[in-house]
Each structure stands twice: as structure tokens, then as C-alpha cells.
Amino acid sequence: MKDTLRPGIRASHTFTIPTSKTVPALYPEAPEFVAMPEVFATGFLVGFLEWACIKAVNPHLHWPEEMTLGTHIDVSHEAATPPGREVTATVELVEVDGRRLVFTVEAHDGVAVISRGRHQRHIIQRDQFLARLHASR
């Protein structure tokens, strides 16, 4: 990690929600999901918030040799967002504890705040992580 990785880093990331990121698309194998309304799925919302955090810190890492993996998320999903609407995530790195990073996160769909909370990520050395993963199988 670079010396610039410190609390206070902020970033915003915007994405237009396609039908492929709605609840029926989350698990198309599950009839229970397929029957649900086409709104931004919580599972995809979590990934979107992670994406914003990754984009915030990558310039402060030796990427792609170093990268981050999500280890904890505690967020709300407060409003339904239909496909076609633009969603913006705003994130801030609030704590750096060794390789553990803690972010506050919030997402807005132009009508309402749809999510807010906290997310943790850990910095990994990609090659070392993959070697340990393959050795454990």
C-alpha cells in the first residue's frame, strides 16, 4: 500500500441499473426470485457499494498486485429502484488498521437515499492469496 492510503479518502461512483441487476436476475434458477418485482436487488446493491470502495482505494494501492476483498458489510436497503435509474454511491474511508479498511457508504437513486451503512475490506497480495487458496484445496 502507498503512503497516501489514509482515512478521509472519498469517492463517488455512478451506475445506471440494467434489468440484469434486478431481483429476478439475482438467482434466475429460483422461481421465488423470478416472481419478484424488477427492482435493484440487495445482492447487487452490496456489490455496487463494494465496487465504489474498490475504486476509491485502488489508486492508493500497488494494484493489481495488491487488491482488497470485502470481509463485512452492514447496510440498509431503504427504497426500491427500478431499472433505468441512475444510482450514485458515495464512500469514505474512515479507518485504516493495518490491512483492514473501514468505509462509510451511502447510495442515492436521484429520488431517495436507498442505502447507508459501513463496509470493511482487507488488503491482500493477489499472488499470495491465490497460492494459499489453491494449496488449501
- Predicted confidence (pLDDT) per residue in 30-67, tens digit: 999 999 999 999 999 999 999 999 999 999 999 999 99
Farthest-apart Cα atoms in the chain, separation? 49
How confident is the model over 84-133, as pLDDT tens digits? 999 999 999 999 999 999 999 999 999 999 999 999 999 999 999 999 99
Alpha carbon distance 65, 57 (integer Å): 13
What strands lie across the sheet with 66-75, from one edge to the other?
10-16, 86-97, 100-108, 113-125, 66-75
Beta strands in 17-111 (DSSP E): 66-75, 86-97, 100-108
User: Which value, in Å, is the radius of gyration of the alpha carbons in the chain?
Assistant: 16
For range 71-93, the mean pLDDT? 98
Catalytically annotated residues: 42, 50, 77
CATH domain 10-135 topology: Thiol Ester Dehydrase; Chain A (3.10.129)
C-alpha cell read off for 117: 451503512
pLDDT at position 50 = 98
C-alpha cell read off for 61: 494501492
Cell 434458477, residue? 29
